Amino acid sequence: MTDLGALLDGPAGELAMAVWQRRVSAAQVAELALARARAASEKHGSFLSIAADVAARQAAEVDRRVGSGEIPPLAGVPLAVKDNINVAGLPSTAGSRILEGFVAPDDATCVERLVRAGCVVVGKTNCDEFGMGSSNENSAYGNVRNPWDESRVPGGSSGGSAAAVAALAVPLAIGTDTGGSVRQPAALCSLVGVKPTYGRVSRYGLVAFASSFDQTGVLARTVRDAAVAFTAMAGADPRDSTSLRSPVPDVLSPLAREAGAHQPLRGRRIGLLAEADSAEGGLHGDVGALFRRTAGLLEAAGAAVTTVSVPRVAMAVPVYYLTATAEASSNLARFDGVRYGARRGEGSLGDVYRQTRSRGFGPEVKRRILLGTFALSSGYQDEYYNRAQKVRALLARDFQAAFEQVDAILCPTSPEPAFRLGAKADDPLAMYLADVFTVPASLAGLPAISVPAGFSADGLPIGMQLIGPPDSEPLLFELCGEIERSAGALGARPKGAVA
Amino acid sequence: MRIDAELVARVARLAALELSAEESEAMSGQLTRIVEHFEALRAIPDELLEASADPAASPLRPDEARDGAVGAFLASNAPELSHGHFVVPRVVTRSE
């Protein structure tokens, strides 16, 4: 007899196979995942809404399709969706009071495609307001706790998505990654987190934060699950003019190699980021140790490992925060209480705008709108925003030069394991520096994947990141697959699991 | 540079935000610290900084007419709607 609970604890691929073989129905899986999502919501604050009706309808459709001979790649796989990504008929608050009561009119393209691939949406996950944060402490609806240690943050801004997958509520979640919001929580929760090449996944149906960065990404327990979900989501979309028209690269073939092959990475050139050890804000000793160990694992698998410098990585945090906040100040101008969201205040139209925004936005969102407005304002634009754009271009050229020497760059995803709730809450700059290793790839539009690399001395997950040139996802998945095989972090179960 | 209370007030006005005195004071301190930190970008010599390249042109989709009427979902999400239009406070008034 099939153990439904064990299936939901494991990789999405095995669960889909059980649904194809009709050992379990998608409806049975959805029912258990909904119960676990409710438990995870109570325990960690990871969900903002549970989608029982949507899940029941989608699961019934999967069972019908499987019954008629279809084999959707993610048949019956429960999916958690970050609350800044639209699912038709469900609330989209993006973690903000200003969108309280807003119900999405249609599915985001990435959701539509994952549902077509067989996924069943079980709920919307908590996140930092509008994706602005690295700890999930900026949600208007409460903090999310890390299932590995509930006194610590899960990372952000896709903290609810990460906590839901880590706690075994769902095998798969999607989030948005503007400056690391998929990769960093993945690292802090022992998950695989993928930020695709800019434009590879459509952004139709996302609540925009910073449009020259925003990408939808996937959080999964295994590299293969992440690759299957990426394949389902990726591809051109006429509703997103920034989506890439080129063919989606094949990321599944490189993972199909037989286990135990001798030196499978022979011929691959890996560069260790030279600036990693001198990162501003410091590098945690256990993270540094696993960085070197991971380099050793890749070398043992046949890769040629050297050190490579990307000098302007040291400038990435200022460039990112000047650019992303400027874009946010423009994108968030649409929240004025006129067409949707919660309207507050009385008086003139200007009074309504100001009161709606002042009462609807949280402190971090206001801080970023002010910073971005300052960077774009008359008298300061050249010195701040325009200079940041030029340094951004310089950083992209640094990466191009590095990729003439190596095929991919390895560095930690986060400079430290999960920190305690409240540890950086009063120091925005310290919080921004938590993004030191994730914002460089975002600034250059490059694909990057965080993969579990092991644990700190006190049992906290640590992730390593692989960054490649545009469209190098097949290589990045291959390298992450090798790390997954050899690092020994796969299948570890957090104390806070809801199963 | 120092982001003093006056500059915070100017930027808040541009961003259509109202800040309490406490918020304004906290923002002044935090933004000053952040902006002063970000001034590290000045260390990069100007001769290294080229104008960033123009972004590639966006591909265009076919120009197809769609129903522009306010649908049920837009109507249910609007704070106030009347005869298919969003209701806002009076903008134009007659001077006495």
The torsion of the CA quartet A216, A219, A222, A224, rounded to 10 degrees, works out to -20
Return the amino acid letter for A75.
A
Residues in chain B with CB shorter than 8 Å from the CB of A394 are 44, 48-50
Higher pLDDT among residues A185 and B93, named by residue: A185
Interface of B with A in 19-78 (CB under 8 A): 19, 23, 27, 30-31, 33-35, 37-38, 40-42, 44, 48-53, 58-61, 71, 73-74, 76-78
**Which whole number is the average pLDDT over B51-56?**
66
Cβ neighbours of B2 (radius 10 Å): 10
A41 labelled catalytic: no
Judged on CB neighbours under 10 Å (0-12, 13-18, 19+), A20 is middle
Whether residue B93 lies within 8 A of chain A, CB to CB, comes out as: no
pLDDT of residue B68: 74
pLDDT of residue B75: 84
Q: What is the DSSP string of A160-195?
A: HHHHHHHTTS-SEEEEEESSSTTHHHHHHTT-EEEE
Q: pTM higher than 0.80 for the full model?
A: yes
- For residue A374, the SS3 value is helix
What is the rounded radius of gyration, in angstroms, for the C-alpha atoms of chain B? 23
CB contact under 8 A, B74 and A363: no
Nearest Cα to A193, choosing from A211, A215, A213?
A215
CB contact under 8 A, A103 and B73: yes
pLDDT of residue A5: 96
Residues in chain B with CB shorter than 8 Å from the CB of A322 are 38, 41
Residues in chain A with CB shorter than 8 Å from the CB of B73 are 103-106
pLDDT of residue A478: 97
- What percent of chain A clears pLDDT 70, i.e. is strictly above it? 99
Residues in chain B with CB shorter than 8 Å from the CB of A387 are 41-42, 49
Nearest Cα to A483, choosing from A299, A305, A230, A306?
A299
Q: Is the pLDDT of residue A146 over 70?
A: yes
How is residue A495 annotated by DSSP? T
Give CA–CA dist A309/A32, Å, rounded: 48
Give CA–CA dist A483/A116, Å, rounded: 30
Judged on CB neighbours under 10 Å (0-12, 13-18, 19+), A333 is middle
pLDDT confidence band for A1 (50 / 70 / 90) = low
CB contact under 8 A, B41 and A319: yes
How far, in Å, are A86, A141, A311 from residue A94 at the CA level?
10, 10, 35
What is the rounded radius of gyration, in angstroms, for the C-alpha atoms of chain A? 21
**Which whole number is the average pLDDT over A319-337?**
97
Q: Is the pLDDT of residue B54 over 80?
A: no
Give CA–CA dist A375/B7, Å, rounded: 12
pLDDT of residue B49: 87
Q: How far is C-alpha A55 from the chain's CA centre?
A: 22
Task: Tell me the two tokens of residue A90.
Answer: 């469900």
Whether residue B5 lies within 8 A of chain A, CB to CB, comes out as: no
How far, in Å, are A431, A462, B96 from residue A49 at the CA level?
27, 29, 51
**Which whole number is the average pLDDT over A447-453?**
98
Helices (H), A301-438: 316-331, 349-360, 363-376, 387-405, 428-433
The alpha carbon dihedral of A36, A39, A41, A46 has a sign of negative
pLDDT confidence band for B57 (50 / 70 / 90) = confident
Give CA–CA dist A359/A371, Å, rounded: 18
Which of these is catalytic: A41, A49, A82, A124? A82
Q: Among A246-250, A295-299, B57-61, which is the least confidently predicted range?
A: B57-61
pLDDT of residue B51: 66
Nearest Cα to A82, choosing from A117, A131, A12, A20?
A131
Q: Among A213-217, A279-283, A364-368, which is the least confidently predicted range?
A: A279-283
A243 labelled catalytic: no
Distance linking the first and last C-alpha atoms of chain B:
47
The alpha carbon dihedral of A315, A321, A324, A329 has a sign of negative
pLDDT of residue A259: 66
Task: Tell me the two tokens of residue A137.
Answer: 């402490």
Judged on CB neighbours under 10 Å (0-12, 13-18, 19+), A212 is middle
In chain B, the residue whose alpha carbon lies closest to the alpha carbon of A332 is: B15
Option in B17, B38, B52 nearest A318 (CB): B38
A278 labelled catalytic: no
pLDDT of residue A386: 95
- For residue A50, the SS3 value is strand
pLDDT digits (tens, 9 = 90+) for A221-249: 999 999 999 999 999 999 999 999 999 99
Give CA–CA dist A44/A139, Å, rounded: 13
Whether residue B92 lies within 8 A of chain A, CB to CB, comes out as: no
Full 3-state SS string of B2-38: CCCHHHHHHHHHHCCCCCCHHHHHHHHHHHHHHHHHH
Average pLDDT, rounded, for chain A: 96
User: Are A174 and A186 a contacting pair, CB within 8 Å?
Assistant: no
pLDDT of residue B66: 82
pLDDT of residue B89: 87
Nearby residues of A56 by Cβ (< 8 Å), 6 or more positions away? A27, A30
CA distance to partner chain A, nearest, from residue B45 (Å)? 10
The enclosing H or E element of A455 equals: strand A448-455
DSSP helix, strand, coil percent of chain B (3-state; round to 5): 45, 5, 50
Q: Is the pLDDT of residue A83 over 70?
A: yes
Residues in chain B with CB shorter than 8 Å from the CB of A333 are 16
Nearest Cα to A406, choosing from A477, A476, A319?
A476
- For residue A423, the SS3 value is coil
- For residue A405, the SS3 value is helix
pLDDT of residue B93: 73
- What percent of chain A clears pLDDT 90, i.e. is strictly above it? 95
How far, in Å, are A153, A316, B94 from residue A377 at the CA level?
35, 22, 34
